[in-house]
Structure 1
Amino acid sequence: MSAAVLSVPYATALGACVLVYFVVYPLVVYFRDVNGLRRYPNMHPLSGISHIPFMVLAHGGARSTYLSKLHQKYPVIRTGPNSLSYGDVRAIKDIYGHNTPCTKDSSYVISSGSHYHLADVIDKHDHARKRKLLSSAYAIKNLEGWEHKVADKTVRLIKHLDTCCTEPPAAGETPKEEDLTVDYRKWTNFFTLDAIADIGLSEKLGFLDRGHDRVTGRRLDGTTYECNLRDCLYQNARKQSLLIWPYAWYPLINKLSNIIPFYGRMGKFAKDWDGIPIELSHRRLQRYRAGEKLDDFFQALMEDKNGHPNNLEWGEIVAEISIMMNAGSATTAIAMTNVLYQLLKNPDMMQKAVEELDAALEDDDEDDDGGVVAHDKVKHLPYLRACLDESLRLFPPTPHGLPRETPQDGINILGDYIPGGVSVAMSAFVAHRQEGPFPQADKYIPERWLGEEGKALQPYFLAFSAGARGCIGRNISYLEQTVVLASVLRRYGFALARPDWQLERLETMNWLVGDMPVKVWRRERKSALSG
């Protein structure tokens, strides 16, 4: 009997197995409906059976925008066989609040490395240990310790912007293409990367000085290579955002996808990213072993505040450095781009912010510091902070719903019982576009954050997540955003290419923004002229 004849029954059996596993079994699970999720409307007719519709949606790069439109009609939507998306802001407390029994779901397990870091650890006791370990380094009382490093990077940013200044435009003039001398997106990203490397590792990456983000990575065998940090960071997250949704299949899909050039290129960047925190941690360890006592996060990982060793495994240290370099740079850089973009799109609000700054500062407040406005001078300016928060609301740097798993005994969300083991989430973008707490939600209105009315909105503000798992680097982000925005608005005028120019956006795990070329010139301050 020939091999071809023998292969027919095997092929038939394989096809039957594939049919049963991928079609029949999901249909049986769907109609059995053990968790009672069929009572919720589907994101797509197949969402109750397969994760494929959500993966397709992810490839469109505007996942949360689509969900937000659905949530205008449905408070709860089924996005996958065992996952729900919420659109009612009252669900924030149930899912993310300090006393919620929900934990991070298994997506954090399959996307983690050999060791968990603070952002992906699931076990609550292990999370509490890590948070206690790092809380002293991230505490708000350390702002003074961070500020000189942030100021140093702001000086370097200003030095570059000074070289790019053009003549002020005439009233109503559209900038010439050759006058769009600065990609504000790129240079603020250089700023956040330089700043977090200095704050965390006392490392001088020098991106602002060199004008590029070329770095050294280290393989596990000790050999090194050169790569571009931003490409590695963002393409790593992009690939994960496209493929992770069928959790059980993700490890296999992630590997097999590399044979397709589109994913293979992202996979190469992801592999290169892994070696960057290894190299940075290795360099900092050499300094630690040489006896340098430096005021940074690495020191907090190695020793407690009394100088006693923490005895962490090397893999855990590298994991914490990895998330620090990732979360500590990407989202803040996106926020910096967004807020200037919003102010340029809303000239009246730009004028209010600048007038508030000019009223609060003396003519020479920043002249002796390389153009840097001191944080203490502007940290309490209400309209400046409102501009930042409104930009974070309108375009949260991390818009997608951070998934949580319901506890074994289940939980009530919005008054409905959800059984254990179900993934539940609420997108920051969806929450921030709800007309109830945020009237005219699609508009940039900083005034909504002022006074008591602004304080009342805080429970619905998810830009830094919420509860015990909220972003530990919130204070650093606000410090950097405030100092940079105040310094550049005080010193410069900016213009987009044309009034109708739009910033490109692509949703991955974060909401990436495209290049933002601007015309920049030195301001003539009214206070200086009137003196």
Structure 2
Amino acid sequence: MTISMQDLVLNWSVSHLVACVAGVIVIRVLFRKYATAIRDVPGPFWASFSSLWRVYRTCKGHIENDILDLHRRHEGFFVRIADNEVSVSHPDAVKQLLHTNLEKGTFYSIFSLPDYRYVNQMSELDPTRHIHKKRSLAAGFSITNIAKAEPYIDNVLSLLRTRFDELCKSGAPVEFQNWFSYYAFDVLGEVTFSKSFGFVESGSDIRNAIANTGALVYYIALMGNYIWFHNLTLGNPLFSWLGLQPNSHIFDTCLIAVDDRKNNPKVRHDMMQRWLDTRAAYPNRLSERDVFAAAVANIGAGAETVSTAAQTVLYNLLRNPHLLKRARQEIDEAQSRGELSSLIQYNEASQLPFLQACLKEAYRTHPGVAYNLPRISPKGGITIAGRYFPAGVILSVNPWVIHRNAEIFGADAETYNPDRWLREDTKTMDAYLIHWGAGYNSCPGRNLAQFELLKVLATVLRDYEVELLESHKDWEYKTRFLAVPYGWPCRIRRRQTKTA
């Protein structure tokens, strides 16, 4: 058998091409790993030259614990988690990175929904533009504006109580991860569009919105590492027009709500109307696209974070009967004094200090956002805990890591302990509680979240006995960008309490 000269040339060309490609990859790996000012920062091997470690650990489902373990293993404040990103655990990072007007990492661009044209507060990287948007949208998120919508939030809460009463009679298992999400979605509909989406009424995941949100946050956690590819594909306006993204359900939900309000004579001065009023008065401040982007972001981000916080409070109280007893006693005593209405009002729930402490401890122990919050080192660089980082290095803070710092939160920082928030002075702890972010990028919907959470938690604890059906099992959660729990079915029954 003979081999022709043509075959030899072809084989040599293929081998040469493979060798060249391999050589380029090796050079690029070595350049990323060593030709950088952060080459001495410890971390996983794969993270020293790519985002592959972060993608892999995201797929595994508990990257928040992985990063916490890295900081503990290396016994330092700095861990390299990507070729140009360092996770910082020193407390000073909260002030120096999050409370300073630094540009955000490109990861945040993934939150432009439904495509890169719709830049909202979350996805805006430039701090100056972000602050301008925040000021223009602030009226809709104010606690004063939210309080005006309380009667309509009460309608959702009343219907939720009716559904729970039905479940009491049927004895069917209650999946609180679903019901708290239904409640949060419908409250967002009332406050944003003057119309509930109907989740609580139907008792179901309408148009698979919640299931699709789970797919969306998974996509966000992965493709946030590859914004260039996202913008060419699912973040491209063409794909938006075709309705092919996993976030299309949010876009469509908002479109339907916006169309409905045009024919709704009962439209109130809701969030959307306040934003439209601002746009009419100051057209240079807000574009029509800005208003729509704010509405989409509000719906997309507001439900599952509320569900996570509500679940965390109730689950931990059920796991700690002595805490549950104290929370109930506080509520029952307020009820006996005539301080609680049949539908508990926000100002009433705000007078329950132990319940508020339980909620703050939920924010601390299980923050909804479990991903690192990246900022870019500014021109001239930045020094944190004695370590200098030149301009352009991405420095990030993980809420789970900061919230477990024993020097800040006490030796029992791993434990759910609401009493830590009932001390005389909690200012230091408050300063490091970053569950809603911090600085200019703090969550704009935090007032609404606190409002609806206190109301629903006080109602459930006052009106229902809740029992874990599988007390031998822990709940589950997978950290994508959010860490939404699931898998802790309960049975409920009505408590014999007098309501006003």
The partner residue of 1:195 within 187, 209, 224 is 187
Residue 65 of structure 1 aligns with which residue?
Answer: 65
The 10-residue stretch of structure 1 (8-17 or 147-156) with the greater mean CA deviation from structure 2: 8-17
The 10-residue stretch of structure 1 (303-312 or 335-344) with the greater mean CA deviation from structure 2: 303-312
The 10-residue stretch of structure 1 (297-306 or 386-395) with the greater mean CA deviation from structure 2: 297-306
Confirm whether residue 238 of structure 1 aligns to residue 218 of structure 2.
Answer: yes
The structural deviation recorded for 1:75 is 1.3
For structure 1, list consecutive stretches of 5 or more residues without a partner in the other structure: 167-177, 215-226, 256-267
- CA separation of 1:10 and 1:509: change in aligned 2, threshold 3 A: farther
Cα deviations by residue, 1:27-58 (Å, 9 ceiling, x for unpaired): 0332222xx1022111x123212221221111
Q: For the Cα contact (< 8 Å) 2:50–2:82, is it kept in 1?
A: yes
The partner residue of 1:457 within 409, 423, 429 is 429
For structure 2, list consecutive stretches of 5 or more residues without a partner in the other structure: 236-241
- CA separation of 1:483 and 1:47: change in aligned 2, threshold 3 A: same
When normalised by structure 1's length, the TM-score is: 0.84
The structural deviation recorded for 1:292 is 6.7
The structural deviation recorded for 1:373 is 1.1
Q: For the Cα contact (< 8 Å) 1:277–1:321, is it kept in 2?
A: no
The structural deviation recorded for 1:321 is 1.6
Q: How does 1:48-197 map to 2 (within 5 A)?
A: 48-72=48-72, 73-97=75-99, 100-109=100-109, 112=112, 113=115, 114-165=117-168, 179=171, 181-197=173-189
The partner residue of 2:258 within 272, 280, 284 is 284
Amino acid at match of 1:83: E
Q: How does 1:349-388 map to 2 (within 5 A)?
A: 349-362=323-336, 369=342, 372-388=343-359
Q: For the Cα contact (< 8 Å) 1:391–1:444, is it kept in 2?
A: yes
Q: For the Cα contact (< 8 Å) 2:50–2:83, is it kept in 1?
A: yes
Q: Tell me how far apart the structure 1 counterparts of residues 463 and 230 of structure 2 sit (CA, whole Å).
A: 49
- CA separation of 1:144 and 1:248: change in aligned 2, threshold 3 A: closer
- CA separation of 1:520 and 1:289: change in aligned 2, threshold 3 A: closer
Q: For the Cα contact (< 8 Å) 2:317–2:323, is it kept in 1?
A: yes
Amino acid at match of 2:419: E
Cα deviations by residue, 1:227-252 (Å, 9 ceiling, x for unpaired): 31011111011122134325555657
Q: Tell me how far apart the structure 2 counterparts of residues 153 and 410 of structure 1 sit (CA, whole Å).
A: 50
> What's the % identity of the aligned pairs?
25
Residue 399 of structure 1: SS of its match in structure 2?
A: coil
Q: For the Cα contact (< 8 Å) 1:243–1:253, is it kept in 2?
A: no
The 10-residue stretch of structure 1 (350-359 or 179-188) with the greater mean CA deviation from structure 2: 179-188
Amino acid at match of 2:322: D
The structural deviation recorded for 1:400 is 1.5
Amino acid at match of 2:76: Y
Confirm whether residue 475 of structure 1 aligns to residue 447 of structure 2.
Answer: yes
Residue 523 of structure 1 aligns with which residue?
Answer: 495
Confirm whether residue 31 of structure 1 aligns to residue 34 of structure 2.
Answer: yes
Residue 296 of structure 2 aligns with which residue?
Answer: 322
- CA separation of 1:110 and 1:352: change in aligned 2, threshold 3 A: closer
The 10-residue stretch of structure 1 (437-446 or 243-252) with the greater mean CA deviation from structure 2: 243-252
Q: Tell me how far apart the structure 2 counterparts of residues 286 and 311 of structure 1 sit (CA, whole Å).
A: 26
Amino acid at match of 1:354: R
Cα deviations by residue, 1:200-250 (Å, 9 ceiling, x for unpaired): 111221110111122xxxxxxxxxxxx310111110111221343255556
Residue 250 of structure 2: SS of its match in structure 1?
A: helix
Residue 424 of structure 2: SS of its match in structure 1?
A: helix
The 10-residue stretch of structure 1 (451-460 or 434-443) with the greater mean CA deviation from structure 2: 451-460
Q: Tell me how far apart the structure 2 counterparts of residues 312 and 3 of structure 1 sit (CA, whole Å).
A: 65
Q: How does 1:284-303 map to 2 (within 5 A)?
A: 284-285=258-259, 287-288=261-262, 294-303=268-277
The structural deviation recorded for 1:414 is 2.1
The 10-residue stretch of structure 1 (294-303 or 335-344) with the greater mean CA deviation from structure 2: 294-303
Q: For the Cα contact (< 8 Å) 2:140–2:275, is it kept in 1?
A: no
The structural deviation recorded for 1:304 is 1.8
The partner residue of 1:420 within 374, 387, 391 is 391
Q: Tell me how far apart the structure 2 counterparts of residues 484 and 387 of structure 1 sit (CA, whole Å).
A: 13
- CA separation of 1:452 and 1:364: change in aligned 2, threshold 3 A: closer
Amino acid at match of 1:130: K
Q: For the Cα contact (< 8 Å) 1:407–1:421, is it kept in 2?
A: yes
- CA separation of 1:138 and 1:3: change in aligned 2, threshold 3 A: farther
The 10-residue stretch of structure 1 (86-95 or 406-415) with the greater mean CA deviation from structure 2: 406-415
Q: Tell me how far apart the structure 2 counterparts of residues 253 and 418 of structure 1 sit (CA, whole Å).
A: 34
Q: Tell me how far apart the structure 1 counterparts of residues 9 and 295 of structure 2 sit (CA, whole Å).
A: 55
The structural deviation recorded for 1:16 is 3.6
Residue 238 of structure 2 aligns with which residue?
Answer: none
Q: For the Cα contact (< 8 Å) 1:193–1:329, is it kept in 2?
A: yes
Amino acid at match of 1:22: I
Residue 399 of structure 1 aligns with which residue?
Answer: 370
Q: Tell me how far apart the structure 2 counterparts of residues 379 and 2 of structure 1 sit (CA, whole Å).
A: 86
Q: For the Cα contact (< 8 Å) 1:303–1:310, is it kept in 2?
A: no
Q: Tell me how far apart the structure 1 counterparts of residues 106 and 189 of structure 2 sit (CA, whole Å).
A: 30
Amino acid at match of 2:491: K
Amino acid at match of 2:30: L
Q: Tell me how far apart the structure 2 counterparts of residues 300 and 149 of structure 1 sit (CA, whole Å).
A: 17
- CA separation of 1:21 and 1:512: change in aligned 2, threshold 3 A: farther
The partner residue of 2:25 within 22, 25, 32 is 22
Cα deviations by residue, 1:99-123 (Å, 9 ceiling, x for unpaired): x242111122355322210111012
Task: Tell me how many residue pairs correspond in the alignment.
Answer: 484
- C-alpha RMSD of matched pairs (Å): 2.8
- CA separation of 1:294 and 1:459: change in aligned 2, threshold 3 A: same
- CA separation of 1:387 and 1:399: change in aligned 2, threshold 3 A: same
Residue 453 of structure 1: SS of its match in structure 2?
A: coil
Amino acid at match of 1:127: H
The structural deviation recorded for 1:319 is 1.9
Cα deviations by residue, 1:438-458 (Å, 9 ceiling, x for unpaired): 221111100001133333310
Amino acid at match of 1:521: R
Q: Tell me how far apart the structure 1 counterparts of residues 139 and 263 of structure 2 sit (CA, whole Å).
A: 22
- CA separation of 1:366 and 1:129: change in aligned 2, threshold 3 A: same
When normalised by structure 2's length, the TM-score is: 0.89
Cα deviations by residue, 1:253-289 (Å, 9 ceiling, x for unpaired): 979xxxxxxxxxxxx9972522532452354256348
Q: Tell me how far apart the structure 2 counterparts of residues 289 and 13 of structure 1 sit (CA, whole Å).
A: 68
Residue 200 of structure 1: SS of its match in structure 2?
A: helix
The structural deviation recorded for 1:93 is 0.5
The partner residue of 1:446 within 399, 413, 418 is 418
Q: Tell me how far apart the structure 1 counterparts of residues 403 and 233 of structure 2 sit (CA, whole Å).
A: 33
Q: Tell me how far apart the structure 2 counterparts of residues 234 and 285 of structure 1 sit (CA, whole Å).
A: 26
The structural deviation recorded for 1:312 is 4.3
